[in-house]
Amino acid sequence: MGKIAFVFSGQGAQYPGMGQSLAGCSPAARAVFELADRLRPGTSAQCFEGTAEELSLTKNTQPCLYCVDLAAARALEERGVQADFAAGFSLGEAAAAAFAGIFSPEDGFDFVCKRAEAMQRAAEAHPGSMAAVLKLPNEKVEELCAGFSQVWPVNYNCPGQLVVAGEPEQLKAFLEKVKEAGGRAAPLAVSGGFHSPFMEDAAGELEGVLARMELAPPRLPVYANFTARPYGEDARSLLVNQVKSPVRWQETLEALTAAGVDTFLECGPGKTLCGLVKKTVKTARVFQVQDEETLNAALEALGAR
Catalytic residues: 90, 195
Q: Residue 59 burial by CB count (10 A; 0-12/13-18/19+): exposed, middle or buried?
A: middle
d(CA 190, CA 215): 30
Residue 79 identity (one-letter amino acid)? R
Q: Which amino acid is at 267?
A: C
Residue 221 CB contacts under 8 Å (≥ 6 apart), including other chains: 84, 85, 86, 230, 231, 259
Interatomic CA distance for residues 218 and 6, integer angstroms? 14
The 10 Å CB-count burial string (b at 16+, else e) for 93-114 is bbbbbbbbbbbeeebbbbbbbb
Output the CA torsion sign for 136, 138, 142, 145: positive
